[in-house]
Structure 1
C-alpha cells in the first residue's frame, strides 16, 4: 500500500499527530546512533588543525580514558532536546508543505520536492536554533564550565545576552536551504524511481535506509561549509574570544585565509560522509516504518 493511500484515510490533524511522534522517534534514534562521531567532528570544526580519522579516533580514545564512556555522549542530552522537537517539526512540516504546494499529487513535480524540503528545514531550524547552539557549546567544553543544559542557558543569558542564543542563525538558515532541500528531494526522487521500477512490491526497510543514506550524503556535501561557519560562530565565545564579534562572512573569510577551502570550510567532511548517511538513513527508515505502523493501527482507523 502506497503512503499516499494510507494518508488518504486520515484527517489532517491525525496526519500531523502521527508525523510528530514518528519524526521525534526517528530523530532520537538517528542522533544517538552517531553521537560520538558528532562530538568529535564538532571539536575539529571549531579548532585550527588538520582533520584525520586517526586524530578523530585519538580524540575519542583520550576522552574515554580521561572522562569515561559517557564522555562520548557529552552534549547528546542537549542534542536530543533539540533533535526530538526538530525532527518532529521537520518531518511534519515537510508533509504539510507538500500538501500546501501540491507536491507530486497529480504529476511528478521535482522542483516542488526541493522547495517543500527546504521550507521544512527552515521551519524546524528557526524554532529550535537555541538548542542547536547549546549542543555545540556543550560539545566543545568540559562539565566544569557547563554542568547541564539549564546552567548553559543561564550563563549565556547573563554574560552574553539573549541575542547570543541566535548567534549564527542566519548562516544556519542559509545552510538549511540546500541541505534540507537536497535531502528530501533526493530521498523522495529515489522512492519514485524505485516505485516506477517495481510497482507491485512495497518499498522495504533496507531500500528506505539506503535511499536515506544517499540523500544524506548529497545533502551533507552540499551544505557542509555553512555548518563549519555556523559552529565557529556558535562556539567563538568559549574557544576564540577574539572572534566573538565576527559575523558569518568575516568568519568564512578568516577560515579560507588561514586554513583554505578544503582544509577549512570542508574540514571533517569525510566524517560527515561516514555519519551523515548513517544518521539520515536510520532517520528516514525509522520515520517511514513508524508512520506506517501508526497509520495502520486501530487508533487512527
Structure 2
C-alpha cells in the first residue's frame, strides 16, 4: 500500500475473535535505495584503501610510462629511493590527494553501477537472484567501468599531471585545473579520454567477469556461498592481472596524452601516439613499459578493492539487519 502498511489477520480481539492488525512492510523502492547507498559507500571505501596501499608504485609506474627511460625493476627501485632521499617519504604519495578525489567517486560509481547493471541484466535475461551467464557478466563490468570513467575523467588527468611534475609546479588540485584551463584550454581536461574509455571496456569487463566467475566456481566446488577473505584477495588478484594485461598499451597511450603539456610532446591521436612510442622505444619496451610493475601493483590493488567492497557490503547489511530488529 502507499502508506507502507500491510494488513495481516494475526490478532485476537477481547471476544476471542480474529482481527486484522497492521504490520509494517519495507517497500521495494526503500530496499533498493539502501542497496544503492551501501554500494556507493562500500565502493568509495574500497577504492580509497586499495589506491592508497599502492600509491608509491602507481606514481613510479606513471613516471616511467610518460618518459623514454627504459624500465626495469632496478631502475624503478632507484627512482623510488631517489625520490625518498630528495623529496622525503611522503613525496612517494605525491598526487595521492588527487587520486583520492578521483578514485572515491570513481570506485563508488563503478561498484554501484555494476550492482545495478547486474540487476538490470538479471531482469532482462531472467537471472534474478542467481549468477549471470558469461556475456551479461562481461557487459555489466564493462558498462560499470565506462560509466565511472565518463563521469570522473578530468580528475584522473589531474592526478597524472601531479604525479609527473615537481611539487613547485602545481601546489594543489585546484591549481592544476586553473593552470591547464588557462594555458591549454578546457579541452585539455579531456585529453586522452578516448583511449581511456576504449581501454576501460576490456579492463573493467575482464576484471569484474573474472572475479564474479571465480566466486561462482568457488561456491559450486566448495559448497560455501561466501569465500574467505584470503580467497577473495586471490580472486581479485587474478582479476586485476587479467584485466590490466589486456588493456595495458592503451593505459600507456592515455598517460602520454594526458601529460603531453608538461613533457614537451604533442600527442594528438591514439594511433599517432602509439606510432611515436613504438618508433622511439620499440613495441614491447614502449607500449608495455612498466607492465611487470603492474603485475605486482595491479593484482594487489584490485584484490584489496574487491575484497574491501565485499566485506564492507556484508558488514553494512548486518548492521542494517540489527538496526531493523532493534526497532
Q: Does 1:249 align with 2:249?
A: no
Higher relative contact order (CA 8 A, sep 6+): 1
- Could you tell me how far apart the structure 2 residues matched to 1:68 and 1:264 are? 30
Superimposed CA distance per residue, residues 108-145 of structure 1 (whole angstroms, 9 cap, x where no aligned partner):
41111100000000000001100000010000001111
TM-score when normalising by structure 2: 0.86
Q: Which has the higher strand share?
A: 2
Q: For residue 115 of structure 2, what is the aligned residue in structure 1?
A: 95
- Could you tell me how far apart the structure 1 residues matched to 2:30 and 2:236 are? 25
Q: For residue 163 of structure 1, what is the aligned residue in structure 2?
A: 187
Q: For residue 186 of structure 1, what is the aligned residue in structure 2?
A: 210
1:143 alignment partner, SS class: coil
Query: Do 2:233 and 2:304's aligned partners in 1 also have CA atoms closer than 8 Å?
Result: yes
Q: Does 1:273 align with 2:295?
A: yes
Give the paired residue count. Answer: 292
Structure 1 residue 49 displacement after superposition: 1.9
Q: For residue 177 of structure 1, what is the aligned residue in structure 2?
A: 201
Structure 1 residue 9 displacement after superposition: 11
Q: For residue 20 of structure 2, what is the aligned residue in structure 1?
A: none
1:202 pairs with one of 226, 235, 259: 226
TM-score when normalising by structure 1: 0.94
Superimposed CA distance per residue, residues 223-274 of structure 1 (whole angstroms, 9 cap, x where no aligned partner):
000100000000011012xx32522210011111221221010000000000
- Could you tell me how far apart the structure 1 residues matched to 2:132 and 2:209 are? 12
Q: For residue 75 of structure 2, what is the aligned residue in structure 1?
A: 55
Q: Does 1:135 align with 2:159?
A: yes
Change (3 A) 1:9 1:277: farther
Superimposed CA distance per residue, residues 2-52 of structure 1 (whole angstroms, 9 cap, x where no aligned partner):
xxxxxx997111111000000000000000000000000000000002100
Give the stretch that moved more between structures: 152-161 or 101-110.
Answer: 101-110
Q: Does 1:238 align with 2:258?
A: no
Q: Which has the higher helix share?
A: 1
Which runs of 5 or more residues in structure 1 are unaligned? Answer: 1-7
Runs (4+) of structure 1 exceeding 4 A deviation are none
Which runs of 5 or more residues in structure 2 are unaligned? Answer: 1-27
Query: Do 2:62 and 2:255's aligned partners in 1 also have CA atoms closer than 8 Å?
Result: yes
1:297 alignment partner, SS class: helix
- Could you tell me how far apart the structure 1 residues matched to 2:276 and 2:183 are? 25
Q: For residue 83 of structure 1, what is the aligned residue in structure 2?
A: 103
Change (3 A) 1:245 1:222: closer
- Could you tell me how far apart the structure 2 residues matched to 1:29 and 1:204 are? 19
Which structure would you say has the larger Rg?
A: 2
- Could you tell me how far apart the structure 2 residues matched to 1:182 and 1:107 are? 16
Q: For residue 5 of structure 1, what is the aligned residue in structure 2?
A: none
2:272 alignment partner, SS class: helix
- Could you tell me how far apart the structure 2 residues matched to 1:90 and 1:108 are? 18
Structure 1 residue 90 displacement after superposition: 0.4
Change (3 A) 1:180 1:249: same
- Could you tell me how far apart the structure 2 residues matched to 1:24 and 1:35 are? 16
Query: Do 2:154 and 2:190's aligned partners in 1 also have CA atoms closer than 8 Å?
Result: yes
Q: For residue 151 of structure 1, what is the aligned residue in structure 2?
A: 175
- Could you tell me how far apart the structure 2 residues matched to 1:132 and 1:63 are? 22
Structure 1 residue 298 displacement after superposition: 3.0
Q: Does 1:264 align with 2:290?
A: no
